[in-house]
């Protein structure tokens, strides 16, 4: 059985590090992709590179904090491809707008709201806009990008960690609501991922001993997004080199 049977995917945050890898893997398996991100020019240039590699793709500007923008991106996808089978809620920010990590006691309220608005409310907004198209075809695969920060916390990023914990619980609740409609909802929660495609960095911060490579996250996303994963829903999968297991013990070697 093919993993993807003539499927159409909408990917948010598509021109970022993980978004690019997810889109590239989708088109390589014959999935039609709307690559949606804040900047129209970057989204279109990236989609052009996907087409140049033989894929079916369009670029689209999308701001997940704006209902109008979200509805326009969904409408453009439907006009172009006729349906939406797969939604990847990947758009996200982790750093404060001033580029400085800070404890909660020093976090300006507007920073808190901005991060929750993009990471959590954005996933709500795009999902709600896509659902009528999924209901129409009685099929859907929704994959959210969480974070291990949403599972175990991250000092200096309480807003980010809270937003990702929200994404994980949104995943589980939606999975229960949408299962009767043949729509699965799962979450991939990355640990530290290298910003450089094809490279990893050594670290003592997890059991595998290196950072992740972006394709390793995209592979997990592809699995949940595939036709073959229809019996899996409500799962939050850490892809983190064992980072959230117990503390790494460097003194004992098997």
Which of 119, 139, 98, 123 shows the shortest CA–CA distance to 225? 139
Binding-site member from 4, 8, 11, 13 for ligand NAD (CB under 6 A): 13
**x/- binding map, residues 174-203, to ligand NAD, per CB under 6 A?**
----------------x-xx----------
User: In the bound complex, what is the minimum distance in angstroms from residue 132's beta carbon to ligand NAD?
Assistant: 21
Cβ proximity to ligand NAD: between 58 and 91 the closer is 91
For residue 199, report the phi and psi dihedrals to the nearest 5 degrees. -120, 155
Residue 118 as a binder of ligand NAD (CB under 6 A): the answer is: yes
DSSP 117: I
Which of 139, 124, 33, 129 shows the shortest CA–CA distance to 85? 139
Binding-site member from 55, 59, 92, 238 for ligand NAD (CB under 6 A): 92
Binding-site member from 34, 147, 158, 233 for ligand NAD (CB under 6 A): 147
User: In the bound complex, what is the minimum distance in angstroms from residue 156's beta carbon to ligand NAD?
Assistant: 14
CA distance 123 to 197: 25
User: In the bound complex, what is the minimum distance in angstroms from residue 139's beta carbon to ligand NAD?
Assistant: 24
Cβ proximity to ligand NAD: between 47 and 139 the closer is 47
Left if phi > 0, otherwise alpha if psi is -120 to 50, otherwise beta: which for 85? alpha
Q: b/e per residue, 208-242, with b = 16+ CB within 10 A? A: eeebbbbbbbbebbbbbbbbebeeebbebbbbbbe
Pairing of strands 140-145, 183-190: parallel
Site residues for ligand NAD, 39-78, by CB under 6 A, read 62-65
Residue 115 CB: number of other CB atoms within 10 A?
24
139 carries an active-site annotation: no
Catalytic residue among 160, 170, 220, 241: 160
Cβ proximity to ligand NAD: between 119 and 139 the closer is 119
Chain residues that interact with ligand NAD, rule: CB under 6 A: 12-13, 15-19, 37-38, 62-65, 90-94, 118, 145, 147, 190, 192-193
Active site members: 160
């Amino acid at each position: 059985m093919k993993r993807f049977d003539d499927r159409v995917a909408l990917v948010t945050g598509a021109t970022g590090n993980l978004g690019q890898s997810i889109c590239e893997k989708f088109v390589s398996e014959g999935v039609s992709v709307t690559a949606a991100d804040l900047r129209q020019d970057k989204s279109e240039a990236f989609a052009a590179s996907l087409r140049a590699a033989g894929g079916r793709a369009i670029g689209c500007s999308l701001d997940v904090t704006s209902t109008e923008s979200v509805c326009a991106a969904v409408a453009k996808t439907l006009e172009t491809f006729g349906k939406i089978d797969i939604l990847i809620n990947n758009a996200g920010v982790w750093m404060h707008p001033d580029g400085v990590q800070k404890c909660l006691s020093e976090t300006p309220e507007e920073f808190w709201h901005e991060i929750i608005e993009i990471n959590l409310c954005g996933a709500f907004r795009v999902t709600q806009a896509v659902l009528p198209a999924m209901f129409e075809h009685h099929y859907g695969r929704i994959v959210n990008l969480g974070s291990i920060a949403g599972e175990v916390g991250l000092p200096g990023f309480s807003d980010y960690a809270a937003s990702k914990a929200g994404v994980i619980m949104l995943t589980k609740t939606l999975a229960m609501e949408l299962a009767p409609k043949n729509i699965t909802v799962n979450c991939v929660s990355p640990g530290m991922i290298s910003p450089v495609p094809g490279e990893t960095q050594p670290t003592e911060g997890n059991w595998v001993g290196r950072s992740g490579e972006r394709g390793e996250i995209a592979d997990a996303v592809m699995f949940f997004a595939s036709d073959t994963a229809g019996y899996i829903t409500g799962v939050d999968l850490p892809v983190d080199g064992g980072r959230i297991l117990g503390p790494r013990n460097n003194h004992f070697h098997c």
